[in-house]
């Protein structure tokens, strides 16, 4: 039976496809010169990319880049509306959680078909990054711009007050039975309103001042990237039967469900903030939880380094923020989701070749080195990554090895790339929220898994 949701999706596909076809038809009269519209969502990255834009304009007389930055939620809503209304940019920053859907809807130009980007080589980037941006047709739809992994950010003052040596965080272990040394640390860092710690008698889990571990929600909208993915991955679990372009989900496997029972169980113990405490859909991020003293440490991505290192206390004094690797799991290894962004050219661009010049520049050595020197993210090219590592060491006095070690040790796993990405996220988010809140058992994900698998059977 075709549901109302599927009818809405079909209508959206038709609208976007029509917009895409209109855009393709209008490109034949495009000018050789002009302003290239470029969108991104990260305000911290905008200054670095403005430097790239200035360098590009200098090297390409007659061309200039206009950058528009929007917050994450507004960004995707505005982009989707732009595809329908023919107001989408020439080039935009793409995310793996959205990429597959845009390929399905045919609103991205194959970069192989555009002269300036036809020579992009997989081997110029961190291993595995460039291949992620190829569709099932084998064509490339995004040029790699950066990569990220997950690590633990912690408040050095909170560790010191607890009598914990930061070196103890280097080899933490966890398991779904008792949480291992990781949960012992989380318990010890948790403090109730009377000053009793989570591993001491009398700890009041209903009146907690500081939780040992921050929370960024249920993780249902992004495969638990900054929530439970590192734990599930180190338990040997993977989201789909193959990646990219899997055809079966694994939400019904004990490796995941046991992990989530333990993970969300820390909320019931008072070690991690509840859904209500962090604001649900508009969740307070890990950085703000640590800054406010709501949490002592938390998992987050390498793209947040700049934000964490700028944190100050109520008196304006800079916080002592440190980094530690994700804990070692039942598999005997630690793990981190490996994700990366790319730049894509839209089918609505009226100057595709010029747009491709900009994308080639963005993914080239000059721009990647500019971004590396800004220290905001790890650029896709290894040389750019080394510049970012050096910047963090010299300017922030921060050792970012917990992020880079995952790549060096090959303990990463890829962000799931599948068809029906938007439908999958729409189904997963509320179901995982229900598990986080406690209104549904973890076993309910078995039914969700069946529903997700059914999406592969829906006629395209």
Per-residue pLDDT for 6 more than 80? no
Residue 9: what pLDDT?
Answer: 43
Per-residue pLDDT for 191 more than 50? yes
Greatest CA separation found in the chain? 75
Kind and range of the H or E run holding 295: strand 295-301
- Could you tell me the pLDDT band of residue 213, with boundaries at 50, 70 and 90? very high
Tell me the per-residue pLDDT of 148-165, one tens digit each, with 9 for 90 and over: 999 999 999 999 999 999
Per-residue pLDDT for 131 more than 80? yes
Tell me the per-residue pLDDT of 238-291, one tens digit each, with 9 for 90 and over: 999 999 889 999 999 999 999 999 999 999 999 999 999 987 656 789 999 999
Residue 282: what pLDDT?
Answer: 60
Please give the span between the terminal C-alpha atoms of the chain, in angstroms, as a whole number. Answer: 14
Per-residue pLDDT for 181 more than 50? yes
Residue 101: what pLDDT?
Answer: 87
**What are the distances in angstroms from CA 422 to CA 9, 418, 419?**
9, 10, 9
What long-range pairs does 81-84 form, CB within 8 A, spacing at least 24?
A: 82/348, 83/16, 83/19, 83/20, 83/107, 83/346, 83/348, 84/15, 84/16, 84/19
Query: Which tokens belong to 378?
Result: 């790890």
Q: How far apart are CA 386 and CA 404, in angstroms?
A: 10
- Could you tell me the pLDDT band of residue 100, with boundaries at 50, 70 and 90? confident
Mean pLDDT of the chain: 91
Q: Which of 107-121, 147-161, 371-385, 408-422 has the lowest mean pLDDT?
A: 408-422
Per-residue pLDDT for 13 more than 50? no
Residue 281: what pLDDT?
Answer: 56
Residue 104: what pLDDT?
Answer: 86
Whole-structure pTM value:
0.90
Kind and range of the H or E run holding 38: strand 34-40
Q: Which residue has the higher pLDDT, 18 or 333?
A: 333
Query: Which tokens belong to 172?
Result: 């933490």
Residue 399: what pLDDT?
Answer: 96
Tell me the per-residue pLDDT of 334-390, one tens digit each, with 9 for 90 and over: 999 999 999 999 999 999 999 999 999 999 999 999 999 999 999 999 999 999 999
Stretch 215-233: mean pLDDT: 95
Residue 262: what pLDDT?
Answer: 98
Q: Which of 88-97, 276-285, 360-369, 391-400 has the lowest mean pLDDT?
A: 276-285
Stretch 123-128: mean pLDDT: 93
Per-residue pLDDT for 15 more than 50? no
Q: Which residue has the higher pLDDT, 6 or 293?
A: 293
- Could you tell me the pLDDT band of residue 447, with boundaries at 50, 70 and 90? very high
The candidate with the shortest Cα–Cα distance to 27, out of 435, 352, 360, is 352
- Could you tell me the pLDDT band of residue 24, with boundaries at 50, 70 and 90? very low
């Amino acid at each position: 039976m075709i549901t109302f949701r599927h009818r809405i999706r079909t209508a959206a596909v038709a609208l976007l496809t029509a917009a895409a076809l209109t855009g393709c038809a209008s490109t034949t009269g495009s000018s050789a010169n002009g302003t290239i519209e470029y969108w991104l969502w990260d305000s911290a990255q905008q200054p670095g990319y403005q430097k790239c834009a200035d360098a590009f304009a200098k090297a390409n007389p007659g061309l200039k880049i206009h950058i528009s930055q929007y917050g994450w939620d507004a960004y995707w809503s505005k982009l989707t509306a732009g595809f329908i209304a023919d107001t989408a940019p020439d080039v935009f920053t793409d995310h793996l959680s959205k990429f597959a859907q845009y390929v399905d809807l045919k609103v991205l130009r194959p970069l192989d078909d555009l002269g300036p980007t036809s020579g992009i080589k997989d081997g110029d980037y961190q291993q595995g990054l460039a291949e992620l941006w190829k569709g099932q047709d084998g064509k490339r739809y995004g040029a790699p711009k950066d990569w990220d992994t997950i690590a633990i950010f912690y408040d050095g003052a909170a560790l010191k007050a607890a009598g914990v040596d930061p070196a103890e965080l280097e080899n933490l272990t966890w398991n779904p039975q008792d949480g291992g040394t990781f949960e012992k640390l989380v318990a010890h860092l948790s403090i109730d309103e009377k000053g009793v710690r989570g591993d001491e008698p009398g700890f009041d889990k209903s009146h907690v001042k500081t939780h040992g571990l921050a929370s960024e929600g249920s993780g249902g909208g992004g495969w638990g990237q900054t929530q439970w993915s590192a734990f599930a991955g180190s338990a040997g679990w993977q989201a789909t039967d193959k990646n990219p372009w899997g055809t079966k989900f694994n939400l019904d496997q004990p490796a995941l469900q046991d992990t989530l029972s333990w993970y969300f169980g820390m909320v019931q113990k008072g070690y991690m903030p509840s859904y209500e405490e962090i604001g649900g859909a508009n969740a307070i991020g890990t950085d703000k939880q640590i800054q406010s003293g709501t949490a002592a440490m938390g998992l987050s991505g390498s793209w947040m380094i700049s934000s964490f290192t700028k944190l100050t206390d109520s008196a304006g004094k800079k916080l002592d923020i440190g980094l530690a690797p994700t804990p070692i799991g039942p598999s005997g290894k630690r793990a981190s989701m490996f994700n990366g962004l790319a730049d894509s050219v839209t089918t609505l661009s009226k100057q595709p070749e010029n747009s491709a010049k900009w994308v080639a520049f963005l993914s080239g050595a000059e721009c990647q080195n500019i971004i590396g020197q800004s220290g905001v993210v790890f650029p896709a090219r290894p040389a750019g990554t080394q510049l970012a590592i050096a910047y963090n060491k010299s300017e922030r006095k921060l050792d970012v090895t917990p992020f880079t070690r995952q790549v060096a040790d090959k303990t990463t796993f890829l962000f799931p790339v599948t068809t029906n990405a938007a439908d999958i996220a729409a189904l997963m988010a509320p179901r995982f929220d229900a598990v986080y809140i406690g209104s549904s058992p973890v076993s309910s994900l078995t039914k969700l898994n069946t529903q997700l698998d059914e999406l592969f059977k829906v006629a395209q």
